[in-house]
A = this chain, B = another copy of it.
């Protein structure tokens, strides 16, 4: 049966002051409608029954996440510590295999945006079918629209099949985030896709790979999944296992290979306020304005209020965010530096703003 795991453990700083330590990107209502985790959940449930979608998040967010998604608390697993995606995936596979030995498991980051939901559903169905039949993991690759240096890349090998109009390729290999010259080469070649971190894999194959390639992670996950350990005990076990991702820790080592489906679905990892402007509908002056704001002779801005109107005059290409307890102003070209605020807040001991 189809199962899914949403990984919602991240704690971003790039959307400060909207995102905070205990209120990461996936829980933000950035789009003035649903949160990214709700949208992720809604996309998955087209292919996986709600009762078979698990969510992994920080322990202190588990109850609120269950409430937000309207699922039983037992479907939300609180991670005691962040250990990247492999330990989480192995733990999930161990839990699920106990209930369903034929489980096919999709693994999804909680904080991505996908514009074309119908296309995504179609691709995801094919991914689950291929993963079930072939026993190989299926990964989704995003067609690049520019030579981005912030993502890992998937290099395509030959086509395996076309299923109901969806081509499925063999993966040649994973590539780390490239420098700009290499990113340009990848972009031109058309054989490289962005690694979106979405995988579908049979739980038994996943676990078997972990047993072979990541034995310490395997043993820890199986122990945790088997016993009713306390959070403290789980934390102790978790603290000893390495930080490692699914692709580096397991997939790269598979002798039988990996499948990749190119996904043109309007994907974005919503990496910054600048991305938001590009994703959402903007006014005739290319402003993205959320709230009752007044923009006079201003263009290309992201302006997000929280009650109080934000008034901009002659402002070009900036982000302005007003929250209850802080106001941010930053040129959109500088949003990568927003993380420096968090450092500064630590330094000044302004912990209430973190």
Contact = CB atoms under 8 A, between A and B. Distances in A.
B308 A325 contact: yes
Given A305-B327, A316-B331, 20 more contacts: A294-B344, A294-B350, A296-B337, A296-B340, A297-B337, A297-B340, A309-B325, A309-B326, A309-B353, A312-B329, A313-B328, A313-B330, A313-B337, A313-B338, A313-B340, A314-B331, A314-B337, A315-B331, A318-B318, A320-B327
A318 B308 contact: no
A144 interface: no
Q: Name the interface size band of chain A.
A: 35 or more
Contact of A341 (B296, B324, B329, B350): B296
Contacts of A330: 312-315
A278 interface: no
A288 to B, nearest CB: 15
Q: 5 tightest A-B contacts by CB?
A: A314-B334, A313-B330, A310-B327, A313-B337, A312-B329
A262 interface: no
A328 to B, nearest CB: 5
A298 to B, nearest CB: 9
A60 B311 CA distance: 28
Nearest to A310: B327
Nearest to A348: B294
Interface string A279-309: 0000000000000001011000000010011
28 contacts: A16-B311, A17-B311, A294-B345, A294-B350, A296-B340, A297-B334, A297-B337, A305-B327, A308-B324, A308-B325, A308-B326, A308-B327, A310-B326, A311-B328, A311-B341, A312-B330, A313-B328, A313-B330, A313-B337, A313-B340, A313-B341, A314-B331, A314-B334, A314-B337, A315-B334, A316-B331, A318-B318, A318-B329
A345 B293 CA distance: 11
Nearest to A322: B327
A188 to B, nearest CB: 31
B327 A309 contact: yes
What does DSSP make chain A's interface, helix, strand, loop or mixed? mixed
A16 B311 CA distance: 10
A184 to B, nearest CB: 26
Nearest to A347: B294
Nearest to A335: B313
A340 B313 CA distance: 8
A345 B296 CA distance: 11
Nearest to A330: B313
B326 A320 contact: no
Contacts of A310: 326-327, 329
Contacts of A345: 294
